[in-house]
């Protein structure tokens, strides 16, 4: 999940937790004693894998902190210079923002007829933020986490993946409204750069691809199954090179095509859930922008609304379209540059950006790490 965007961006990983053999996956019961023994051994193995996986995550967290100590120290100094009362208000607005993100997932899951609860989803949302930073593979790690959590709750992981695809699409559409406003303002002031236009085009193409995926499931399911079959063949070919068994079941393409067809039809029958998701996504962005505005006030710098929208939209855009996970190092450079080009004082632009990133990204990232132990995929079997 990208900070400020409420989604995991990936069109891959649309699979069930059982097909992927994720850490928390459940195993179908055997039909004889030998199958039962294998099942028991497999459960023990998966329990050990889960603990080793958490250890690797812990090591990654320590590495992430140590490799960003300079930025964390700068952030601490910036916050100490601000009005702490207003910083607290900005932090509370970010809490509301992440609750709205969870509500967005709930609305999207309702559109694909998947039951969920906002406060059950909140820990998974935050944990996926951390997972996507330490495993930056196009958001696939976060999708796998959601799919596995859905499977462990006895729900369809493929529908969870389809719901997350819908979250991404809706969030892109909602953010595009803000982005167009920001780009238009920069264009009118002749401060629009080519790299900003290029990033916006990439986002537009990504939105079209995501929309096309859902349209395929609804209108051309055979073509979708052919595409998924090609993916399955490619995975099988790749794993055969290492003389390994494919992680995908033999009916993976057909099964997931069926699930996506059902999900796309469910979306068609639940327009109100889709509309609610779009409104929640837009409201989440407005709340996050309000947090950024309060941060400016904490440094005693009242900023105009057009400048606020331009800086915010460029920051979020490059959190999405970035060569680094979650835009680390890129957003911290782009946002101050945009604000400075719009006549915001240099030090204020830097202080505000770092404080905003701390509240919107770094602190939720740390919370996401500590919440991993409360996610079903990382619990021991007795805790499920």
pLDDT tens string 305-350: 999 999 999 999 999 998 887 888 889 889 999 999 999 998 899 8
pLDDT of residue 40 exceeding 50, the answer is: no
pLDDT for 46: 44
pLDDT of residue 106 exceeding 70, the answer is: yes
**Which residues, in sequence order, are CB contacts of 361 under 8 Å at separation 6+?**
3, 4, 129, 319, 326
Of the ranges 47-51, 241-245, 248-252, 349-353, which one carries the lowest mean pLDDT score? 47-51
Q: Which two tokens stand for residue 145?
A: 């986490």
**Which residues, in sequence order, are CB contacts of 45 under 8 Å at separation 6+?**
none
pTM of the shown model: 0.74
Q: Which two tokens stand for residue 186?
A: 């920069």
Alpha-helical runs (H) found in the chain: 17-20, 33-67, 69-81, 84-111, 118-134, 140-152, 157-188, 194-219, 221-241, 252-269, 271-298, 305-320, 331-341, 346-357, 363-371
Most confident of 54-58, 134-138, 362-366: 362-366
Distance CA 330, CA 315 (A): 9
Q: Which two tokens stand for residue 292?
A: 């950024």
pLDDT for 167: 87
More confident residue, 49 or 84: 84
Distance CA 291, CA 240 (A): 51
Q: What letter would DSSP give residue 15?
A: S
Total Cβ atoms within 10 A of residue 307: 19
- pLDDT tier for residue 181 given thresholds of 50, 70 and 90: very high
Please provide the size of the chain in residues.
384
pLDDT of residue 147 exceeding 70, the answer is: yes
Q: Which two tokens stand for residue 73?
A: 């120290």
The candidate with the shortest Cα–Cα distance to 2, out of 298, 269, 288, 229, is 288
Distance CA 40, CA 117 (A): 32
Q: Across residues 268-289, what is the average pLDDT?
A: 88
More confident residue, 295 or 256: 295
Q: Please give the distance of CA 128 from its chain centroid, rounded to a whole number.
A: 6
The candidate with the shortest Cα–Cα distance to 321, out of 236, 233, 204, is 204
Rg of the Cα atoms in the chain: 22
- pLDDT tier for residue 377 given thresholds of 50, 70 and 90: low
As a whole-number percent, the residues of the chain with pLDDT over 90 amount to 31
* Burial of 291 (C-beta count, 10 Å sphere; 0-12/13-18/19+): buried
The candidate with the shortest Cα–Cα distance to 280, out of 121, 85, 91, is 121
Q: Across residues 140-167, what is the average pLDDT?
A: 76
- pLDDT tier for residue 75 given thresholds of 50, 70 and 90: low
Q: Mean pLDDT of all residues in the chain?
A: 77
- pLDDT tier for residue 381 given thresholds of 50, 70 and 90: very low
The candidate with the shortest Cα–Cα distance to 296, out of 350, 259, 254, is 350
Q: Across residues 197-204, what is the average pLDDT?
A: 92
pLDDT for 72: 64
Most confident of 132-146, 192-206, 215-229, 265-279: 192-206
Total Cβ atoms within 10 A of residue 30: 14
Of the ranges 7-16, 141-150, 233-242, 367-376, which one carries the lowest mean pLDDT score? 7-16
Distance CA 320, CA 272 (A): 27
More confident residue, 299 or 67: 299
Q: Across residues 191-209, what is the average pLDDT?
A: 90
| Tens digit of each residue's pLDDT (9 = 90 or more) over 7-31 | 655 433 333 333 434 333 443 334 4
Q: Across residues 173-195, what is the average pLDDT?
A: 93
Q: Which two tokens stand for residue 199?
A: 């990033």
- pLDDT tier for residue 49 given thresholds of 50, 70 and 90: very low
């Amino acid at each position: 999940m990208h900070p400020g965007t409420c989604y995991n961006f990936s069109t891959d990983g649309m699979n069930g937790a059982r097909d992927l053999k994720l850490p928390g996956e459940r195993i179908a019961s055997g039909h004889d004693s030998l199958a039962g023994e294998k099942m028991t051994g497999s459960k023990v193995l998966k329990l050990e894998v889960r603990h080793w996986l958490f250890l690797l995550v812990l090591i990654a967290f320590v590495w992430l902190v140590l490799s960003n100590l300079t930025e964390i120290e700068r952030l601490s100094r910036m916050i100490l210079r601000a009005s702490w009362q207003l910083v607290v208000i900005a932090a509370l607005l970010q809490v509301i923002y992440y609750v709205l993100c969870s509500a967005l997932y709930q609305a999207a899951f309702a559109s694909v007829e998947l039951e969920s609860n906002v406060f059950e989803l909140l820990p998974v949302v935050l944990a996926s933020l951390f997972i996507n930073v330490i495993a930056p593979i196009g958001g696939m790690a976060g999708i796998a986490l959601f799919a596995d959590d859905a499977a462990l709750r006895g729900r369809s992981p493929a529908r969870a993946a389809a719901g997350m695809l819908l979250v991404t699409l809706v969030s892109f559409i909602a953010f595009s409204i803000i982005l167009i406003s920001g780009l238009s303002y920069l264009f009118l002031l002749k401060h629009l750069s080519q790299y900003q236009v290029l990033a916006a085009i990439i986002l537009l193409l990504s939105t079209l691809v995501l929309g096309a995926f859902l349209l395929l499931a609804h209108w051309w399911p055979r073509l979708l199954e052919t595409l998924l079959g090609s993916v399955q063949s490619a995975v099988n070919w790749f794993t055969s090179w290492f003389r390994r068994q494919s992680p995908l079941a033999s009916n993976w393409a057909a099964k997931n095509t069926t699930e996506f067809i059902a999900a796309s039809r469910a979306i068609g029958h639940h327009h109100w859930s889709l509309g609610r998701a779009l409104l929640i996504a837009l409201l989440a962005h407005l709340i996050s922008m309000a947090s950024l505005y309060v941060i400016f006030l904490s440094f005693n710098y009242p900023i105009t609304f057009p400048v606020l929208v331009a800086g915010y939209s460029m920051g979020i855009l490059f959190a999405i379209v970035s060569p680094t996970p979650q835009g680390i190092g890129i957003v911290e450079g782009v946002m101050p540059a945009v604000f400075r080009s719009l006549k915001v004082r240099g030090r204020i632009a830097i202080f505000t950006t770092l404080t905003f990133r701390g509240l919107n990204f770094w602190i939720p990232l740390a919370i996401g790490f500590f919440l991993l132990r409360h996610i079903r995929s990382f619990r021991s079997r007795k805790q499920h």
